[in-house]
Amino acid sequence: MPNTITVYIDGQAYQAEEGQSILQVAMSNQLDIPHLCYHEDLPIEANCRLCLVESEGKITTSCTLKASEGMKVSTKNEELVEMRQENLRLLLASHVKNCPKCQKKQPCPAFGLMQKYGVTSEEYQRKMLDLAVHKMGSAAEFDPNLCVKCGRCVNICAEIGINFLKIEGKGADAHLTYNQNPKVDCIYCGQCTVHCPVNAIREQSHLEQVEAALLDKDKILIAQMAPSVRTSIGEEFGQEVGLNMEKKMFTALRQLGFEKIFDVNTGADITTMIEAKDLSNRLKKRDAGEATALPMFTSCCPGWVKFLEFYYPDFIDHLTTARSPQIHSGAAYKTWWADKAGVDPSKIVVVSIMPCTSKKYEAEMEKFNFEHKGHKLKPVDFVLTTREMATLLKKNQIDLPSLEESEADTEGEYSGAAAIYGASGGVMESALRTATHILTGEEMPNLELEEVRGMKGIKRATIKIGDKEIKVAVVATARNARNVLEEIKRNKEAYDYVEFMACPGGCIGGGGQPLTSTNAIIKKRIAGLYSIDAKKNRRRAHENKVVREFFSYLTDKPLLAEKILYTSYSAKNKFE
Amino acid sequence: MYQDELLAKIEEAGLVGRGGAAFPVHLKWQRIKSLKNPKKYVVCNASEGEIGVEKDLYILKNYPEEVIRGLLLAMDFLGTKEAYINFNKDYYQATKNKIDPLLDLCRKKGYLVSIFQEEPSYIGGETGALLNAIEGKKTQPRPESPSPSLKGIFGYPVLLHNVETLYDIARVSMGTFKATRFSTILGVRNEGVYQFGIKQKVADILRETNNYPEFPFFVQVGGGASGEILTSDQAEQAVVGGCGSIEIYKTSTSSKQFLDKIFNFYAKESCGKCTPCRDGSWQLQQMLAEIEEGSEITWQKIAPIIKVMEKSSYCGLGKSIALPVKSYAKNILGIEI
Ligand code: SF4
Ligand code: FES
């Protein structure tokens, strides 16, 4: 335990932990010191110079000022206020020019700071650099001209283990750019977008397309929300972190004009079925002495898949051939549900609401397209991030917290196993519940695999399935993935099954989540997900009746089943 | 010579660093020596980036033996065999015919002195930025604490000295130290680098070197960008501080001409890390560009930026803009900003 000390901020005594910065002390006591480059999970850059305070007659940045016993700090004098304002004017020069085009709307951290500190951003003109917006696949993009060089995106990208982004150039020519090294590429995880305070790096928006589709009378709009969105979107509306907003979201989606409210969770149950089968088959093959690629890797995170296809293509046989949840359920709606409801599948527009930017890239992949009833179809038409969804609701004056609760449509049924897909370890846990059923004909006795839960970047466990011992690992972020893959290179038998996610904590810490994301907040969102599972009567994917119905629909359609349930992988080039 | 003896002589001679900060050399030596790290480096900074300061180049050309001798003495004192010379790339080109053979000799004696060449820049002389550059990182300053020289290169502490300091150390060891310093003198008949006593007054130096202007003038001392502005009267009493330069301006120099030089320098040399210096210096440059020759200088717009740069810049570079601008406004124009 660190020592507790006392510091005096504006004459008031506060308890602090030794080693904390004055900014941290202030923040944990709800004292207001403006800051923009500081992020609690990232290295201190101290470049925005907004968090100024005075201590011992010296003006200094509170993010770098370490609290010491008896320290006296002033945060309020006139000179400080004036200088913070001036730095804010310089930093955000011309910022509002972009607001009409910006999708972020409120809460925009930059705009919030401007309002609070009486700065319009029109006091100075920003230096316009002759640099184009750079697109990262079909997932994210950055505009160097909006960037404030805080370095948060660069640092999180390094933290994730990719190092795609960098700031180049001197003085006012300093600008955000990407790594030219042909061996380094973006994996579309979007962590940079959730760490950008000024919307310079952001998702590639699908809002306009979705708004247009919602107005198109000829279309049948289906909404499906990912597991993670329900326990994070509340943050955009000032709700308690981790609160499950699912039932209010169903109402909200109906109010927006979606005709059918289904759930990516149903897709997650489909994925679990296919993936558990794939795992069981591989294990059986190995037992029979046949060649098979083990350990098997999960494939539901497109950022991870891109990582493997780009950095470690030799391993692609290890990826499960199961498609990902949104792709599974999207195709299920356009085949099974369309037939059942008697609608023309080409009229269906599937919109996924995801905590993720790489899901946008995934939705655009040709390889997932299929044919049904003579139409060429793609499983998912558009993907909105949690942030985009919040924007859409706000634009339509839908105040989520005050809505009545409602249920999803029948075909949106899901099991508890699906709910936890959003947390790192959840996919593994779900698959093992069903694999146990497949391999032993019995149900897993203990449904809570505590060893694979939580925020640790690499979790290892040995799980008993019948008399078999399965060695598993659960990995979050590319940095950790690299370590585990290198370990597997050295020891092919280290694991039987490994779950990989690109983002810290899994999808729940995804790149499409609210900007409020920090590791501490992600933890609370995760708790929300596990409590959904614990409350469900059906906690195993194979108990999901809707999924069973879908599979029985496919029994006499092997070609279609092959097309919409499985996928393959290929080595990728830079920018692919 | 025994090391303690040399240290005592250095202290007695009152040697201070000639990079601009004027920190006592013997204290720096003791501090780095007392560290327990298994490895240490000596780094010679040969990349002065201030406008019109060329005394390091002059010393390298004329006294390369002394500089290298000083470097070896510092290495022996620390008990290390490894050093770097952080060279402004142009300086290296201009002096390598003399430096390279000397370094070959060092190598034969078992001292490994590596040359690090960098693009000429002002920030490249800032301690943290310089060490970052040697490590292959971006040339940007490091946090004030822990002290950049303690974290040094790849975690090993660094004893960093400017070229002139090493020259002084060599002189002390040879018993020929005379408490002098070198300065570039600019804007005069006989421009060039001169050596003179550290207590000599600026006006006297100008007279002695036959450079005292015949026209009304003001003078900038201690760096052609960051140096202080003095009237010719003030020059009678002032000595050279900061880095070694004396630059004469005709009193007829307009405010726009003078500020243009300063603002352009900072806009060009800012490393781009922090808001006040990066954006402030650019705004200043823009503002001035919009003022026509002969029109009023908009001090009320300039002053807040100067202030925020002075008080809130990340490193000394951004902060240092205040001295020339404020002293110019006060001493020459008679206004407080
Ligand atoms: S003051 Fe700021 S921008 Fe200027 S050189 Fe120092 S760190 Fe870089
Ligand atoms: S938050 Fe302290 S300088 Fe940016």
Question: Based on the domain organization, do B268 and B240 belong to the same domain?
Answer: no
**Distances in Å between the alpha carbon of A411 and those of A222, A298, A408?**
11, 25, 8
Ligand nearest to the CA of A43: 2
The answer as to whether B315 is a domain residue is yes
* CA–CA distance, A9 with B327 (Å, rounded to integer): 35
Domain termination site, one of B234, B250, B266: B250
Kindly give, in sequence order, each residue whose CB lies less than 8 Å from that of residue A434, ignoring residues fewer than 6 positions away.
Answer: A272, A273, A276, A417, A540, A541, A542
Burial zone of B322 (CB within 10 Å; 0-12 exposed, 13-18 middle, 19+ buried): middle
The answer as to whether B55 is a domain residue is yes
Residues in A touching B144 (Cβ below 8 Å) = 64
Task: Report the SS3 class of residue A412.
Answer: helix
Report how many Cβ contacts below 8 Å link chain A to chain B: 92
Helix axes A325-332, A558-565, angle to 10 degrees: 150
Ligand 2 closest atom vs CA A51: 2
Question: Based on the domain organization, do B169 and B104 belong to the same domain?
Answer: yes
Q: pTM for the full model? A: 0.93
Question: Based on the domain organization, do B300 and B193 belong to the same domain?
Answer: no
Question: Based on the domain organization, do B12 and B161 belong to the same domain?
Answer: yes
**Number of C-beta neighbours around residue A339 at 10 A:** 13
- Measured in Å, residue B271 CA sits from the centre of ligand 1 at 5
Domain termination site, one of B220, B235, B250: B250
The answer as to whether B30 is a domain residue is yes
Question: Based on the domain organization, do B301 and B205 belong to the same domain?
Answer: no
* CA–CA distance, B266 with A314 (Å, rounded to integer): 51
Per-residue pLDDT of chain A (576 residues; tens, 9 = 90+): 678 999 999 999 999 999 999 999 999 999 999 999 999 999 999 999 999 999 999 999 999 999 999 999 999 999 999 999 999 999 999 888 888 777 665 567 888 899 999 999 999 999 999 999 999 999 999 999 999 999 999 999 999 999 999 999 999 999 999 999 999 999 999 999 999 999 999 999 999 999 999 999 999 999 999 999 999 999 999 999 999 999 999 999 999 999 999 999 999 999 999 999 999 999 999 999 999 999 999 999 999 999 999 999 999 999 999 999 999 999 999 999 999 999 999 999 999 999 999 999 999 999 999 999 999 999 999 999 999 999 999 999 999 999 999 999 999 889 989 999 999 999 999 999 999 999 999 998 888 889 999 999 999 999 999 888 999 999 999 999 999 999 999 999 999 999 999 999 999 999 999 999 999 999 999 999 999 999 998 899 999 999 999 999 999 999 999 999 999 999 999 988
The answer as to whether B337 is a domain residue is no
Handedness of CA B326, B330, B333, B337 (dihedral sign): positive
pLDDT score for A108: 79
Contact between A170 and B269 using a beta-carbon 8 Å cutoff: yes
The answer as to whether B148 is a domain residue is yes
Each residue of B252-267: pLDDT tens digit?
999 999 999 999 999 9
Each residue of B21-58: pLDDT tens digit?
889 999 999 999 999 999 999 999 998 888 888 999 99
Question: Based on the domain organization, do B90 and B207 belong to the same domain?
Answer: no
Domain termination site, one of B221, B250, B279: B250
Ligand nearest to the CA of A21: 2
Which helix (H) or strand (E) segment holds residue A272: the answer is helix A264-287
pLDDT score for A100: 75
- Tell me the domain boundaries of chain A: 4-76, 91-202, 207-267+326-411, 273-323+416-546
Count helices and strands in chain B by DSSP H and E runs: 15, 9
**Parent domain of B260:** 255-331
Question: Based on the domain organization, do B119 and B39 belong to the same domain?
Answer: yes
Per-residue pLDDT of chain B (337 residues; tens, 9 = 90+): 578 899 999 999 999 998 878 899 999 999 999 999 999 999 999 988 888 889 999 999 999 999 999 999 999 999 999 999 999 999 999 999 999 999 999 999 999 999 999 888 889 888 999 999 999 999 999 998 888 889 999 999 999 999 999 999 999 999 999 999 999 999 999 999 999 999 999 999 999 999 999 999 999 999 999 999 999 999 999 999 888 999 999 999 999 999 999 999 999 999 999 999 999 999 999 999 999 988 999 999 999 999 999 999 999 999 999 999 999 999 999 999 8
Ligand 1 closest atom vs CA B318: 1
Whole-complex ipTM: 0.91
CB-based contact (8 Å) between B307 and chain A?
A: yes
Instruction: List the structure tokens of A356.
Output: 């993720």
Instruction: Determine if ligand 2 sits within 6 Å of the CB of residue A139.
Output: no
DSSP string, B196-227: EETT--HHHHHHHTT---SS-EEEEES-TTTS
A9-17's contacts with Cβ under 8 Å and 24+ in sequence apart are: A9/A73, A9/A74, A9/A75, A10/A73, A10/A74, A10/A75, A10/A76, A16/A67, A17/A67
Mutate to test the pocket of ligand 2, among A21, A24, A37, A42 (most ligand atoms within 8 A of CB): A37
Count helices and strands in chain A by DSSP H and E runs: 19, 20
Q: What residues of chain B, 70 to 89, have a C-beta less than 8 Å from chain A?
A: none
Domain A91-202 architecture:
2-Layer Sandwich (3.30)
Strand partners, A261: A223
Torsion of CA A163, A169, A171, A173, to 10 degrees: -110
The CATH number for A4-76, chosen from 3.90.950.10, 3.30.450.20, 3.40.50.300, 3.10.20.740, is 3.10.20.740
Interface-testing mutation among A80, A86, A168, A177, with chain B (most B C-beta atoms within 10 A): A86
Kindly give, in sequence order, each residue whose CB lies less than 8 Å from that of residue B272, ignoring residues fewer than 6 positions away.
Answer: A149, A167, A169, A170, A171, A172, A173, A174, B140, B278
The answer as to CATH 3.90.1150.10 being correct for domain A273-323+416-546 is: no
Contact between B314 and A44 using a beta-carbon 8 Å cutoff: no
Question: Based on the domain organization, do B211 and B278 belong to the same domain?
Answer: no
- From the list A323, A375, A270, A359, the residue with the least C-alpha distance to A564 is A323
* Chain A contacts to B (CB-CB under 8 A): 44-50, 52, 59, 61, 64, 79, 82-83, 86-87, 90-91, 93, 124-125, 127, 148-149, 167, 169-174
CATH topology of domain A207-267+326-411: Rossmann fold (3.40.50)
Task: Report the SS3 class of residue B58.
Answer: helix
Interface-testing mutation among A90, A113, A129, with chain B (most B C-beta atoms within 10 A): A90
Residues in B touching A176 (Cβ below 8 Å) = none
Q: What is the DSSP letter of A117?
A: T
Question: Based on the domain organization, do B167 and B76 belong to the same domain?
Answer: yes
Domains A4-76 and A91-202 share a fold: no
Instruction: Determine if ligand 2 sits within 6 Å of the CB of residue A63.
Output: yes
Q: How far is B204 from chain A (nearest CA, A)?
A: 37
Each residue of A421-432: pLDDT tens digit?
999 999 999 999
Q: What residues of chain B, 132 to 151, have a C-beta less than 8 Å from chain A?
A: 138, 143-144
Please tell me the total count of domains within chain B: 3
pLDDT score for A107: 65
Instruction: Determine if ligand 2 sits within 6 Å of the CB of residue A49.
Output: yes
- CATH code of residue B245: 3.10.20.600
Q: How far is A54 from chain B (nearest CA, A)?
A: 11
Question: Based on the domain organization, do B215 and B294 belong to the same domain?
Answer: no
Question: Based on the domain organization, do B76 and B161 belong to the same domain?
Answer: yes
Question: Based on the domain organization, do B309 and B200 belong to the same domain?
Answer: no
The answer as to whether B129 is a domain residue is yes
Contact between B275 and A91 using a beta-carbon 8 Å cutoff: yes
For residues B313 and A83, is the Cβ–Cβ distance under 8 A? no
